[in-house]
Amino acid sequence: MIQFKNVTKKYGKDITALHDVSFSIDKGDFVYLVGPTGSGKTTVFRLVIRDLVPDEGEVLIGDISIGKLSGSKIPKLRRTVGTIFQDLKLLMDHTVMENVILPLQFTGVSEKNARQQAEEILLQVGLGDQKDKFPLQLSGGERQRVAIARALIFNPEVLLADEPTGNLDSETSYQIIDLLQSINKLGTTILMATHNKEIIDNTKQRVLTVEKGRLVHDRPSAHKKTTESKKEDEGEEKEKKEEAQEHTDKKKDEKKEEHETS
Ligand code: ADP
Ligand code: MG
């Protein structure tokens, strides 16, 4: 779904934000992008939404190399990839509802439909009864949820979350992660940046670690099935099916017998 092939990105001449970075994320995966401040996490996200183009290498979304994407196709890419920005980018003089439906302006969706769509998403993120509030009337966790709702408005295939727990206490952080996990379970591919070690130590998800612009570690998901365990599962599945078949056959025989004796 997301592929980086030997990507190097510089800011000006002197700052190499990413150096020869390669990784691939499958559709439906939940992956953490970890590294200290300044290691290049936000740069990865900006490349995924074609806010930046690589100096070297290639970024692919699906099978499209987005460096070559014409300007007119960028809006479509940005509907495929929803982003929760590090600084949220919420409009403080707009209500929760207005913030969430903002990306739908100029897309031809009627105000009524936009609101209906937003209502559903606000329920999904747990803000069903906060829609008329302004961002400053909300807690940090709730503001994060508004940004998540807005990122979901186009029902994107990929969701990028740039340090969504950065300013939150531990309990609220886990609530946000639970929410992202529930979104992932519905099929959305998620890439979440964090520099919170506690989150990483407690997760079974795949973890990509960047340091000084280099991908230094790729820890696979503990959930992901190895070929061996898949085979075992398939074996078990087969056994279960055979058992079920035996059961049905037996039932049939019994019925037959009943029929014959009566
Ligand atoms: P992270 O999100 O991990 O904190 P960034 O991707 O924001 O890292 O930054 C990577 C490096 O690039 C840092 O050294 C940062 O100072 C630098 N950098 C980021 N954005 C810019 C920019 N717009 N202009 C110049 N340097 C930048
Ligand atoms: Mg950042």
What's the pLDDT tens digit per position in 241-259?
A: 666 666 666 656 665 565 6
Q: What percent of the chain has pLDDT over 70?
A: 85
CA nearest 104: which of 127, 134, 82, 130? 82
Interval between CA 10 and ligand 2 midpoint (Å)? 15
Q: What does the alpha-carbon distance between residue 185 and residue 189 come to, in Å, rounded to a whole number?
A: 9
Among 15, 208, 215, which is best to mutate for testing ligand 1, by the most ligand atoms less than 8 A from CB? 15
Atom 7 of ligand 1, nearest CA residue: 42
Confidence (pLDDT) at 105: 86
Interval between CA 87 and ligand 2 midpoint (Å)? 9
Confidence (pLDDT) at 204: 94
Q: What does the alpha-carbon distance between residue 199 and residue 165 come to, in Å, rounded to a whole number?
A: 10
At 209-218, the pLDDT tens digits run: 999 999 999 9
Mean pLDDT across 103-128: 94
Checking if the pLDDT of 194 tops 80, the result is yes
For the CA atoms of the chain, what is the radius of gyration? Answer: 23
pLDDT averaged over the chain? 90
The answer to whether the CB of 109 falls within 8 A of the CB of 185 is no
Residue 68 — pLDDT band, cuts 50, 70, 90? confident
Rounded to whole angstroms, what are the CA distances from 103 to 79, 88, 98, 130, 222? 9, 14, 10, 19, 36
Locate tokens 């961002």: which residue? 135
Among 11, 39, 210, which is best to mutate for testing ligand 1, by the most ligand atoms less than 8 A from CB? 11
Tell me, what amino acid is at 153? I
Q: What does the alpha-carbon distance between residue 74 and residue 128 come to, in Å, rounded to a whole number?
A: 31
Point out the ligand nearest to the CA of residue 35.
1
Could you tell me which residue, 70 or 82, shows the higher pLDDT?
82
Confidence (pLDDT) at 257: 61
- Which atom number of ligand 1 is nearest to the Cα of residue 12? 25
Residue 180 — pLDDT band, cuts 50, 70, 90? very high
Interval between CA 105 and ligand 2 midpoint (Å)? 28
- Which atom number of ligand 1 is nearest to the Cα of residue 39? 3
Interval between CA 10 and ligand 1 midpoint (Å)? 9
Point out the ligand nearest to the CA of residue 213.
1
238's enclosing H/E stretch is helix 227-261
- Which atom number of ligand 1 is nearest to the Cα of residue 210? 3
Interval between CA 195 and ligand 1 midpoint (Å)? 15
Whole-angstrom distance between the N-terminal and C-terminal Cα of the chain? 62
Q: Give the pTM.
A: 0.85
CA 209 to chain centre: 17
In the structure encoding, which two tokens stand for residue 64, read together?
């499209």
* φ, ψ for residue 23, nearest 5 deg: -165, 165
Q: For 125, how many CA atoms within 13 A lie in the half-sphere containing its CB?
A: 27
Confidence (pLDDT) at 256: 58
Strands 189-194 and 206-211: unpaired
Interval between CA 27 and ligand 2 midpoint (Å)? 24
Confidence (pLDDT) at 117: 95
Q: What does the alpha-carbon distance between residue 10 and residue 180 come to, in Å, rounded to a whole number?
A: 31
Atom 14 of ligand 1, nearest CA residue: 38
CA dihedral angle for residue 185, residue 186, residue 187, residue 192, rounded to 10 degrees: -60
List residues near ligand 1 (CB under 6 A). 11, 15, 17, 35, 37-43
In terms of CATH architecture, what is 2-224? 3-Layer(aba) Sandwich (3.40)
Checking if the pLDDT of 7 tops 60, the result is yes
Atom 12 of ligand 1, nearest CA residue: 17
Confidence (pLDDT) at 231: 57
Confidence (pLDDT) at 240: 59
Residue 19 — pLDDT band, cuts 50, 70, 90? very high
